[in-house]
Structure 1
Amino acid sequence: MKGQEWYQATEVAEEYDEKRFSRGGRLIDRREKQAVLDALGRVEGDRVLEIACGTGRFTVMLAERGADITGLDISGPMLQEGRRKAKQAGVEDTIEFMRGDAARLPFPDDHFDTVFAMRFFHLADTPAKFLAEMARVSKNQVFFDTFKRFSTRSLYNWLLPMGSRLYGSREVEDLVDGASLQLVDSDHDFVVPYGFYREVPDWVAGPFRRADTAVGATPFGDALASVSYWDTRV
């Protein structure tokens, strides 16, 4: 995985949410959480696995909605932040945080109703292996996001110290087929790349996001979007 040493540093975990999801980044946080809720629907009583759960943004949110959820991540410090967040929310008894490798998931086949990953595949060095493992342990749904190759993300990618893996739609469809999954829905968003929103205050981010959404609603919106959300079934 790209940036693995950086990602596992304690100071990175402690500052992760503040750096990415404060200021204009709150718009990203809300949109990503809504994407997960829209795709997963009612989760009460469902057994859910989150791959690369990080600081538990989605893990805690779904636990609050009644999911029996496991959050897996390779970073111990990130998991510690997730446990702290779960305790603050009063759901620490309904979440299991585990350190592990997404390429070798420690679960039997068909163990979860839903498996999902956010902010994961842009760092994946072997995406086919990861997606196959997600499909193996799910008996119903696999949901994930990717960054698009032919978008403003390509320009922004040049500025990143470790870059990101970018995907064309055909490549994702081939990965889905290779994992014996069926694509049932896809959604595309953010003409302006994430990095811009993270760097500007709310009063700047808000108007840009409204313009971004307006462009996204046009016939050209999907083609210009930099982020894609993929909903598949086993």
Structure 2
Amino acid sequence: MKGQEWYQENDVANAYDDKRFSGGGRFIDRREKAAVLDALAPVEDKRILEVACGTGRFTVMLADRGANIVGMDISEAMLEQGRRKARAAGVAETLSFMQADAGRLPFPDDHFDTVFAMRFFHLAPDPEGFIEEMCRVSKSQVFFDTFNRYSTRSIYNWALPMGSRLYSGREARELIVGSGLELADVAHDFVLPYGFYRAIPDWIARPFRAADRALGRTPIGDHLASVSYWDTRIRE
């Protein structure tokens, strides 16, 4: 997987949340969690798999809301951060973390109600193969996000240490249709790229985020968005 060695470094895992979701990065965290909850709700008693769960931001949140959830990642260092979060939140006994390869999910067909992945497909060298595995183990729903090719994300993409794959809207839709999925809903956001928000304090980020949302609600907002959230269903 692209950037796999970088992603699994202990120092990357230890600093992952602080570097991305402190200061102005809090706006990213809130929006991503809202996108997951909007798409997956209601989650109580739902059997869910999070692919590439990282430090467990979403896994722990959904377990706290009653989901029967497994968080899976290739990085043991990231998973250990997730276990610490689960203990701190009091949900360590109600969820599972496991190390596995997203290209060969260790579950039988139709095992979960929902399978989702956030911050994953920009690292995937074989997106078709990965999403086919997600479809295989899901009974109904597959949810994921993409970073968009024709957006401000492309300005700094070349400098990222792990690299990043960007998708056009056409490419993402072809990925969905080619995997036997039907698009239920899609949302677009963040005209300004994530890297901008991570680089500034919360109080500076707040007015920029308000302007970002306002521009996103205009007719050109979807075309400028750097992130898309794709909510799909297994085709009957």
* TM norm. shorter chain > 0.5: yes
State the partner residue of 2:47: 47
State the partner residue of 1:131: 131
**SS of the counterpart of 2:23?**
coil
**SS of the counterpart of 1:122?**
coil
Does the 8 Å contact 2:23/2:198 carry over to 1?
Answer: yes
Matches within 5 A, 1:15-54: 15-54=15-54
Distance (Å, rounded) in 2 between the aligned partners of 1:160 and 1:26: 20
**SS of the counterpart of 1:24?**
helix
State the partner residue of 1:68: 68
Does the 8 Å contact 2:3/2:161 carry over to 1?
Answer: no
TM-aligned CA deviation for residue 162 of structure 1: 3.4
State the partner residue of 2:187: 187
TM-aligned CA deviation for residue 192 of structure 1: 0.2
Distance (Å, rounded) in 1 between the aligned partners of 2:162 and 2:70: 28
Distance (Å, rounded) in 2 between the aligned partners of 1:11 and 1:203: 28
State the partner residue of 1:201: 201
Distance (Å, rounded) in 2 between the aligned partners of 1:226 and 1:85: 29
Unaligned runs of 5+ in 1: none
Unaligned runs of 5+ in 2: none
State the partner residue of 1:113: 113
Distance (Å, rounded) in 2 between the aligned partners of 1:106 and 1:160: 30
Q: Give me the TM-score of the superposition, normalised by structure 1.
A: 0.99
Q: Within the alignment, does 1:178 sit opposite 2:175 as a pair?
A: no
TM-aligned CA deviation for residue 67 of structure 1: 0.3
State the partner residue of 1:85: 85
State the partner residue of 1:95: 95
Distance (Å, rounded) in 1 between the aligned partners of 2:39 and 2:171: 21
Matches within 5 A, 1:203-222: 203-222=203-222
Q: Within the alignment, does 1:233 sit opposite 2:202 as a pair?
A: no
Does the 8 Å contact 2:6/2:162 carry over to 1?
Answer: no
The residue type paired with residue 59 of structure 2 is T
Aligned residues: 234
Does the 8 Å contact 2:190/2:212 carry over to 1?
Answer: yes
Q: Within the alignment, does 1:2 sit opposite 2:2 as a pair?
A: yes
TM-aligned CA deviation for residue 160 of structure 1: 1.9
TM-aligned CA deviation for residue 171 of structure 1: 0.7
Distance (Å, rounded) in 1 between the aligned partners of 2:114 and 2:225: 26
Provide the aligned C-alpha RMSD in A.
0.7
Distance (Å, rounded) in 1 between the aligned partners of 2:97 and 2:58: 12
Distance (Å, rounded) in 2 between the aligned partners of 1:89 and 1:174: 39
The residue type paired with residue 75 of structure 1 is S
**SS of the counterpart of 2:93?**
helix
TM-aligned CA deviation for residue 163 of structure 1: 2.4
TM-aligned CA deviation for residue 9 of structure 1: 1.1
Distance (Å, rounded) in 2 between the aligned partners of 1:159 and 1:75: 22
TM-aligned CA deviation for residue 11 of structure 1: 1.3
Identity of aligned pairs, percent?
Answer: 71
Structure 1 range deviating more: 222-231 or 171-180: 171-180
Q: Give me the TM-score of the superposition, normalised by structure 2.
A: 0.98
**SS of the counterpart of 2:53?**
coil
Distance (Å, rounded) in 2 between the aligned partners of 1:233 and 1:60: 24
Does the 8 Å contact 2:47/2:112 carry over to 1?
Answer: yes
Deviations 1:24-62 (CA, angstroms, capped at 9, x unpaired):
000000000000000001110010000000000000000
State the partner residue of 2:144: 144
The residue type paired with residue 14 of structure 1 is N
State the partner residue of 1:12: 12
